[in-house]
Amino acid sequence: MTMLSTTVQPGFWAATGMIAAVVLCSTAGEVLTASAMKSIGDLDEIRARSGMTGAILAVVTCPRFYAGVAFLALAFFALLFALNHLNLGLVAPASASLTLVTNAIAAHFFLNEHVDRRRWTAAVLVCIGVYFLAH
């Protein structure tokens, strides 16, 4: 006797929540990691002064680096969960493109980076593309 498995696709809000978890955890991880690396300084200068061991110690003694890695790990497991419940054709493009948008916003507000008009335009176009992809 063969058992047929019936898979039920999650509703709109469940799918949105899964993709949002991937995007927000990924963005938090990338922003925290970038902030940690900026606070550490130029690794080439540290390596020239203290050798490779000094450069490695500078990174592994920064708590923000570990927070970034933890959020990136959460993003990975959130992605696995989303892929277990949703179609790859939706999860991969939506999470990757929306991460681009949230990274631009986070870079502007949290890292005080200059985000030029071309990057904001790209972010808007990405949002439009994700809308079409979801509908």
> Residues 131, 134, 135, CA angle at the centre, nearest 5°?
85
Q: Specify the pLDDT at position 90.
A: 83
Q: Which helix (H) or strand (E) holds 89?
A: helix 88-110
Instruction: Identify which has the larger pLDDT, 76 or 7.
Output: 76
Q: Specify the pLDDT at position 54.
A: 92
Label residue 6 by pLDDT band (50, 70, 90): low
Radius of gyration of the chain (CA): 19
| pTM, full prediction | 0.82
